């Protein structure tokens, strides 16, 4: 990795997560979803001790579509004084065949910060959706618009400079969600290495779209990325 190159990209991620409605540690009568296990099969993402648990992926459901510019400006203003170096990305969550606009929050230090962060976003003009009468406890499809800071470690291979244990492999063509699920099933069936979690996405680069798959593993390295890319390319027709 001595010839690595740092680059920043804008892009999208599409993934599936188990989501649950939050009832505590949030502003009254607001709609907030949590993904308590964002990487199925991997435990203790932040800590070996359950007592030290932190909010992993929090989705603040907003009342309307806010542009990436609006979310980014709000985040910049809030980060100037907020005590946690949180990340915030615009996106959507589709669950029970209904789509919600959300702000995805990561890297909060404790659950008690969620309510304060909601208040801060409200001060920036962001309105939240009221909590529905029916609680959610189901898998949802999440689509995120976000920025990436990447370390280019090979041909079409990247390690994330910000997000813990994330890497990316570029694909030769566009893959729809159903095909991605089938490809991932086949790759994992023929996989002999460390277990991984995958998500679908793309980068914008040089006025074009670069299709990719996000790979998560707590011990991700160049060898794992090479192997994952090889296995996916073997399955793509």
Chain segment 73-105, per-residue pLDDT in tens: 999 999 999 999 999 999 999 999 999 999 999
Query: What does the pLDDT average to over 107-117?
Result: 95
39 band by pLDDT with thresholds 50, 70 and 90: confident
Q: How far apart are CA 91 and CA 199, in angstroms?
A: 15
Reduced to 3 states, what is the DSSP secondary structure of residue 144?
strand
- Lowest pLDDT segment from 13-27, 31-45, 66-80, 138-152: 31-45
Q: pTM (2 decimals)? A: 0.91
When mean pLDDT is compared across 32-41, 127-136, 139-148, 196-205, the lowest value belongs to: 32-41
Q: What's the mean pLDDT in 31-40?
A: 87
d(CA 227, CA 237): 18
Residue 4 or 7, more confident: 7
Band the pLDDT of 41: cuts 50, 70, 90. low
Alpha-carbon gap, residue 39 to 236, rounded angstroms: 24
Q: Which residue has the tokens 């907030």?
A: 32
| pLDDT score recorded for residue 89 | 95
Q: Give 53's DSSP letter.
A: -
Where do the H-state alpha helices sit in the chain?
Answer: 68-79, 113-123, 177-189, 222-235
126 alpha carbon, distance to own chain's centre: 21
Provide the pLDDT for residue 132.
93
Cα–Cα distance for residue pair 141/13, rounded to 1 Å? 10
Beta-bridge partner residues of 167: 159, 215
C-alpha 19, offset from chain centre: 13
Cα separation, 223 vs 225, in Å, equals 5
| pLDDT 10s digits, 153-178 | 999 999 999 988 999 999 999 999 99
Residue 61: pLDDT band with limits 50, 70, 90: very high
d(CA 181, CA 115): 35
Separation of alpha carbons 155 and 230, rounded Å: 12
- Tell me whether strands 98-106 and 57-61 are parallel, antiparallel or unpaired: antiparallel
Task: Using pLDDT thresholds of 50, 70 and 90, give the confidence band for residue 44.
Answer: low
Q: Which residues contact 66 (CB under 8 A, 6 or more apart)?
A: 90, 101, 103, 126
Helix 177-189 / helix 222-235 crossing angle, nearest 10 deg: 110
Name the average pLDDT for the chain. Answer: 91
Exposure on the CB side of residue 140, measured as CA atoms within 13 A: 29
């Amino acid at each position: 990795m001595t010839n690595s190159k740092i680059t920043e990209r804008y892009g999208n991620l599409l993934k599936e997560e188990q989501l649950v409605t939050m009832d505590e540690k949030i502003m009254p009568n607001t709609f907030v979803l949590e993904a308590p296990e964002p990487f199925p099969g991997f435990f203790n993402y932040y800590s070996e001790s359950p007592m030290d648990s932190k909010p992993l992926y929090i989705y603040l459901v907003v009342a309307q579509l806010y542009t990436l510019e609006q979310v980014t400006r709000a985040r910049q203003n809030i980060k100037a004084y907020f005590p946690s170096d949180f990340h915030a990305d615009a996106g959507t969550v589709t669950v029970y065949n209904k789509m919600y606009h959300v702000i995805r929050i990561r890297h909060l230090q404790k659950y008690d910060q969620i309510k304060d962060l909601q208040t801060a976003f409200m001060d920036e003009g962001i309105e939240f959706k009221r909590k529905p009468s029916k609680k959610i406890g189901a898998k949802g499809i999440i689509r995120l618009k976000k920025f990436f800071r990447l370390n280019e470690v090979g041909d079409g291979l990247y390690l994330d400079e910000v997000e813990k244990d994330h890497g990316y492999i570029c694909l030769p063509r566009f893959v729809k969600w159903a095909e991605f699920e089938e490809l991932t099933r086949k790759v994992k069936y023929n996989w002999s290495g460390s277990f991984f979690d995958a998500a679908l996405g793309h980068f914008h680069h040089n006025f074009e779209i670069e299709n990719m798959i996000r790979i998560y593993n707590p011990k991700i390295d160049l060898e794992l990325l090479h192997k994952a890319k090889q296995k996916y390319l073997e399955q793509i027709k």
